[in-house]
Amino acid sequence: MFPIGHLALGYLSVSLFRVGRRRPLPTGWTLAAALVGSQLPDLIDKPLAYYGVLVSGRSLGHSLLVMLPVLVVLVGVGHRLGYSEHATALVVATLSHYLGDTYRALLAGDWGSMQFLLWPLFPATDYASDSIPPWVRVFESLGDPRYNFQYALAAVAFGLWLVNRLDRRRARAER
């Protein structure tokens, strides 16, 4: 999944989680935490793979064995410091990143292609695209029907964000 798809899925996941807890949709720093969380595994892995530090753009930051303990500590520290809403948004969005990277394999029952989630127990997948700058791959995807789902998801997320923003602005004006 490309960054825009991860952003959309992260925002929608955090929004759904918050609505389920009877909280308002994410705004401000909670929204920022969700947006960072939605990109976090790629922010760790992609630059390190591009510069040859890691063998794959899906290894360290994409490993549940590495990241789950980090995320648990993050929620604990966030809760202790009074930032539990922000920490939770970051964690939910980060978890949505893994879903975004594996949903096709999950639907196909292709468990072998998801071994990167258990790195370093299993070797990281060596992607040929790791040597191509990510922004080039995004531009090359435009117009490719395989990525329509991501762009549709982005449109839904943007629409939800916009409606929420307009509702909040209208509510402030009524006060």
Report the percentage of the chain scoring pLDDT > 90: 75
Confidence at 141, pLDDT banded by 50, 70, 90: confident
CA 72/CA 78 separation, integer angstroms: 10
Mean pLDDT of 127-145: 71
Structure tokens at 10: 């992260």
Q: Which residue has the tokens 């591009």?
A: 50
Q: For the whole model, what pTM was predicted? A: 0.90
pLDDT of 65 reads 96
CB atoms near residue 102 (< 10 Å): 19
Structure tokens at 1: 């999944």
Confidence at 49, pLDDT banded by 50, 70, 90: confident
- Work out how many domains the chain is built from and give that number: 1
Characterize 6-42 residue by residue with b for buried, 16 or more Cβ atoms within 10 angstroms of its Cβ, and e for exposed.
bbbbbbbbbbebbeeeeeebbeeebbebbbbbbbbbb
73-100 pLDDT, tens digit per residue, is 999 999 999 999 999 999 999 999 999 9
Q: Which residue has the tokens 């890691």?
A: 54
The closest of 142, 139, 144, 154 to 4, measured between CA atoms, is 154
Q: Which domain holds residue 70?
A: 3-174
